[in-house]
Chains A and B, each alone.
Chain A
Amino acid sequence: MVADLGMPRTRRGVPLAVILVAIPVGFALLGLLLRLFAYLVAGWEPHLGGYPDGLCRWDCQWYVILAKSGYDPFPVPETIDAGNWAFFPLFPMIIGGLYALSQADIMTIATGVSIAFSIAAALVAWPLLERNIRAYTLYCAFLLCGPFSIYFTSFLTEVLFVLLTNCIMLALRRSNYIAAGGFAALLSATRIVGVFMVFAIVVQYLAEYRQKGEPWRKLPAHLWQKPEIVLAVLLTPLGLFGYMAYLHFYMGDALAFSHVQRAWGRVPGNPFYYLWMALTDWPDTGFWPSTNQWLGLSVVVGLGATAVLALRRQYAMALFCLICLIVPLSLGLASMLRFVTALSPIVLVVITWLARSRLIYAVSLLGFVAADYFFTTGWLQEWLPLV
């Protein structure tokens, strides 16, 4: 990946690598400032010292407790039935480890790490965006200074999910299946849907195998001679299995992360029934869509972008995105907007499209920056589609 940055200088003599780092760093600083203004306007008892803690809402607060205190035992000592086992461990472990070492304010650590991961995700995406500087700039703005920057710059797992997904996409592009499997192992320890990357890896491998003109009947012999793909497939769920082993020895149930959904009131059902119910949940008054409609629309956009991926023959990532949309949707609409924005292949498709025209690019860039302030305000004022 670093080799991709080692490119010649630009026409003005500035090394390209410097520019590729400067763009996300600049957006990171601008985003920090915009979210600070939003916090000072819409936060709870806002003051400078309360930033970035004051941005931490909803799941972020669960992650803070998880990073500080670890997983709940059973019975949960607190006031509710639901333990925090549904929250996957990798990102809270990283933040919790740094917190244990430094004893600094945990939201300051999380914000710094999230921004660093966002910058890394952008750098990894440079070759995935076909080295298009407009698309790259827009993607940096989206992550660090866009409408959903709160997801990628506070304490939510989306940022690590995006970084690892980008790493996997790059590894697959280079046919480095063991690296893809290694990153996917980390992905499966980051969010529950990360484990489904195994299907993308298999599809990508088979597509590549067939592109070489190899017949299906020789596949077993090929796997025996080059078993790297088998290792990659087995590596992918390793993060999940590691978490399961921990849960078993900690509280007796390796599947607690799944079983706990009952306490959260999540009922498995037909995802398309849930989607239809959301889209037809008309607002009580006015024309502004209801929370469920916003969430349903985000799913529709996600499914549309997934279809575009499939039409572009990016079958592996299309399958991954489809599963990552359908699985949480089968438990309801909660947080679907956040889940859609964390699906890197979808975001990269949209960003690439927005960057094709100079005018659309400029409007999008301005829109992203303005939306950072307004969406952060919405987040702080508990605009529920953002949760």
Chain B
Amino acid sequence: MSSATRSPAGFRPRWLAVLALIVVVAGFELYVSWLALHPSVTDNYRAYYIDQTTTCLDKPVSGRYTLGQTVSFLPDDPPGAWALRVCGWDGPVGDGTHSIGTRSMLHFMLGSAPGDLILRLQMTAIMAPDGRTQRLAVSGNGVLLGETTIGNGLTKSADFAVPASIIDASDGRLDIALDYPTATEMVPHDSDTHYRSIKLLSLQLRRPGDPPSAGAQDDPLAQRHHAGPD
């Protein structure tokens, strides 16, 4: 009888051992495949990584902020900015913190009843490959606060009124969303998670009547490295 037609019984111990291993390994791999099809993740993770319905991957941040304070988003005050940055930001680099994707978010914990507020954002539009003007829609706790446009490569300070009602309804929590309908790819075939729209230079949340921020230089906590004497 040739080896090709010999019964497995002729080499049973090895054959059985190989067969047993096949069953064990295949069983394990089927089980892991089942796990892969049933991820146990947060909605946030699923939306960003699996369903790919958002470009904004939330991070838990403290939202620690003193009303009226200017926070620089240049490289000179990373702790101040990091306490507010939830998602959709990259950097900071020398000229600001870049928005990435089609939405960025900021989170503030303001305590109880801060009243009506004004959000000031100082931003520079990116130099888009097609020179387009950037449009920006700003929402607070899901309510549209306003829209603005910034010309290609230009810098602008924009104010948005934040009604007390939307903060009171969320126990002093304020989540700001910046949506970029004109965000663009900077190189061909770029990922939407890398789309660019603006660079944030500084922000300020103040009560009406408080002095408005003039920009990142008003951040009292910024660690500046001057080339010469003050």
Contacts and interface: CB of A to CB of B under 8 A. Distances in A.
Interface of A: 74-76, 79-81, 178, 214, 218, 221-222, 224-225, 227-228, 230-231, 234-235, 237-238, 241, 244-245, 248, 251-256, 259-260, 262-263, 265-267, 269, 273-274, 277
Nearest to A237: B29
Q: Can you list the 3 inter-chain pairs with the closest CB atoms, starting with the nearest?
A: A254-B36, A265-B191, A259-B49
Contact of B32 (A235, A244, A274): A244
Interface stretch (B1-9, B104-112, B169-177, B221-229): B1-9
Contact of A244 (B8, B35, B50): B35
Contacts of A259: 49-50
Nearest to A181: B25
Given A245-B35, A265-B193, A225 B6 contact: yes
Contacts of A224: 8
Contact of B25 (A218, A235, A255, A267): A235
Contacts of B39: 248, 252-255
Contacts of B191: 262, 265-267
Nearest to A214: B4
Contacts of A256: 49
A372 B90 CA distance: 36
Query: Chain B: interface secondary structure?
Result: helix
Given A234-B25, A241-B28, A265 B36 contact: no
Nearest to B44: A75
Nearest to B10: A225
B194 A252 contact: no
Interface residues of B, number: 41
Contacts of A74: 41-42, 45
Nearest to B50: A259
Interface in B35-62: 35-36, 39-42, 45, 48-50, 52, 57-60
Give the one of B4, B6, B21, B25 with max A CB within 10 A.
B25
Given A222-B4, A227-B15, A259-B49, A248 B29 contact: no
A241 to B, nearest CB: 4
B36 to A, nearest CB: 4
A262 B22 contact: no
B58 A269 contact: no
Nearest to B59: A75
B193 A248 contact: no
B190 interface: yes
B18 A248 contact: no
B62 to A, nearest CB: 13
A252 B49 CA distance: 12
Nearest to A230: B22
Nearest to A243: B32
B194 A265 contact: yes
A80 B42 CA distance: 18
Given A231-B22, A253-B41, A218 B4 contact: yes
B48 A262 contact: yes
Nearest to A235: B25
A254 B30 CA distance: 13
Contacts of B42: 74
B29 A263 contact: no
Given A234-B25, A241-B29, A225 B4 contact: yes
A301 B177 CA distance: 48
Contact of A265 (B4, B33, B40, B190): B190
A228 to B, nearest CB: 6
A141 to B, nearest CB: 38
Give the one of B29, B48, B49, B82 with max A CB within 10 A.
B49
